[in-house]
Amino acid sequence: MGQKFTPLAQSRASYYCKGSPVHFVRVELFRMEGTGDTVVTLTFKNLFSRPLVSFTAYFRCKNKYGEVVVEDSFTYDDVYAGEGDCFGSDDAVFVCDEPLGSVEVRLGSVTYDDGAPHDLRRCAAVALPPLRPLPQRERAALCAALHTEDADYYPEEAEDGWRCTCGAFNYNAGRGIHFCSECGMEKAMLQSALHEVRRAASPRQPQYDAGMQYLPVRDEDPGAEDSYEGAGYGRIQYARALRGVEERRAACGLTGAPADGAGAVSIMKDATADFILRYLPLWTLAAAAVFAVGAVFAAQFLL
């Protein structure tokens, strides 16, 4: 095509043919500037390891009212496309003087460098997952991470392969397992970059969520009633231990605030020390009484 053409529309294939060594890639419509006619081009891709020499495809074009305008076949000769190479985009299969609404494509036959033709009409068509365009912010971030301008769609897994972010379908065979056959993107790198872009775009999660369990903390009066009783909480008995220390200090005639760490030391005393502190006042009174009685008897003998 030596004239000037203006792109009108482009649509990627929504299916692949299971077991076919040739894959239909896309259909494009152009307007011929000299006449205003609509030009139809089809693009295919060779998936086989041997060079493709010739290929035949069937197509059907409909106008915007759904009426069939043409139904024909087209043969690409002397192609010599290697594995992963696309072909056909420079050949017009149909020129129409009215706008077109849709184009349908069906695979015909292919001939490789061994000269033997292979019928592809028995290869069943399998629908591909619909292309999901990336939001503009994620697209910009992914293009920057991968150093490309072709990151337009979310990558998708299919039954026999995967769709790249450029929209290309790749079989799970040969080089297509790890690399896109059209843009050359590595599948593992693409998935890793997309994961990082999504993680950066997602809101930061709180450190704790409603599913975590934690112990309530509160400041409380040691003499206040335990409001946690009956609620299933096993409260630590710090307040009751401190009240025991204060009672023993009062019984011993001690006043004022205890020195730093005194409360903790009193809590840690053993049972013998606790017994002495509790009954020391009684022993003091008994000793005083014995001393007074002895003084009385001594005074009587001396007198």
Task: Mark whether 12 and 111 lie in a shared domain.
Answer: yes
Residue 42 inside a domain? The answer is yes
Residue 61 inside a domain? The answer is yes
Residue 284 inside a domain? The answer is yes
Tell me the average confidence (pLDDT) per consecutive run of 10 residues in the chain, 303 residues long: 80 90 94 91 92 95 93 95 91 92 94 91 89 91 89 89 90 86 90 88 61 52 50 46 55 56 46 58 68 69 61
CA distances (Å), origin 147, targets 138, 140, 142: 14, 10, 8
- Collapse the DSSP code of 65 into the 3-class scheme (helix H, G, I; strand E, B; otherwise coil) and give the result: coil
Q: What is the pLDDT of residue 268?
A: 45
Task: Mark whether 117 and 196 lie in a shared domain.
Answer: no
Residues, the chain: 303
Residue 214 inside a domain? The answer is no
Task: Mark whether 192 and 264 lie in a shared domain.
Answer: no
- Tell me how far apart the alpha carbons of residues 229 and 226 are, in angstroms, rounded to a whole number: 6
In 3D space, the residue among 3, 184, 175, 10 whose CA is nearest the CA of residue 89 turns out to be 10
Q: What is the pLDDT of residue 234?
A: 46
Give the chain's radius of gyration (CA, Å).
45
Task: Mark whether 106 and 161 lie in a shared domain.
Answer: no
Task: Mark whether 123 and 31 lie in a shared domain.
Answer: yes
Sign of CA dihedral 65, 69, 73, 79: negative
Evaluate whether 69 touches 35 at the Cβ level (below 8 Å).
Answer: no
Q: What is the pLDDT of residue 89?
A: 92
Task: Mark whether 83 and 123 lie in a shared domain.
Answer: yes
* Domains contained in the chain, number: 3
Structure tokens at 46: 């060779």
Task: Mark whether 107 and 13 lie in a shared domain.
Answer: yes
Find how far residue 33's CA is from the centre of its chain.
47
In 3D space, the residue among 82, 86, 31, 22 whose CA is nearest the CA of residue 57 turns out to be 22
Residues in a beta bridge with 81: 52
Final residue of a domain: which of 92, 127, 162?
127
Task: Mark whether 144 and 42 lie in a shared domain.
Answer: no
Final residue of a domain: which of 81, 97, 127?
127
Chain position carrying tokens 């076949």 = 73
Final residue of a domain: which of 127, 156, 179?
127
Domain of residue 190, residue span = 131-203
